[in-house]
Amino acid sequence: MPIKSRIRTIPHYPKQGVMFRDITTLLKDPVGFRVTINELVNRYTAGKIDRVAGIEARGFIVGAALAYQLGVGFVPIRKKGKLPAATVGHDYDLEYGTDRIEMHVDAVSQGERVLLVDDLIATGGTAEAACKLIESIGGTIVECCFVIDLPDLGGRARLEKHEQKVFSLCEFEGD
């Protein structure tokens, strides 16, 4: 069952010219969601993973379900100011300006192997920042995992340039 067929495309959202890939249609489909998580579980069951880190917000959905099935802990990576305890953060550049992501300082221990998960990789800025954040407190990135890759936007290449392994379940051409 191809999951790509269960992902909705919304033209010109959030701005003119953008083709938004919406996984909510995949998530509401019980078969599609199960197949998505099962494919990821099958990929990562044999690997040594200590934590799954999910990027806000849709990365929480996929990442938490995957962590549960793998029997490992889940680490939320959030936008600035959203976590209640002591945090560590990483600033990164956006098209116009900068942003910051954070996680709890005790979310990952030295040497722990972390699988980074999000719904989609586009330009790769947020994922790259998340990798640097995890590594800054001693974690090791096993792989960066996405439901969707938009290869024309260069995110996969950006992460691979920094020697990160990247996996996605499907690709969409364009942006």
Q: Could you list the active site residues?
A: 58, 95
Tokens 């290449």 sit on residue: 157
Note whether 126 and 92 are within 8 A (CB): yes
The rounded distance, in Å, linking the Cα atoms of 98 and 95 is 8
Q: How far apart are CA 81 and CA 89, in angstroms?
A: 10
Which residues, 6 or more positions from 129, have their beta carbon under 8 angstroms from its beta carbon? 90, 91, 92, 101
CA dist., res. 127 & res. 117, Å (int): 9
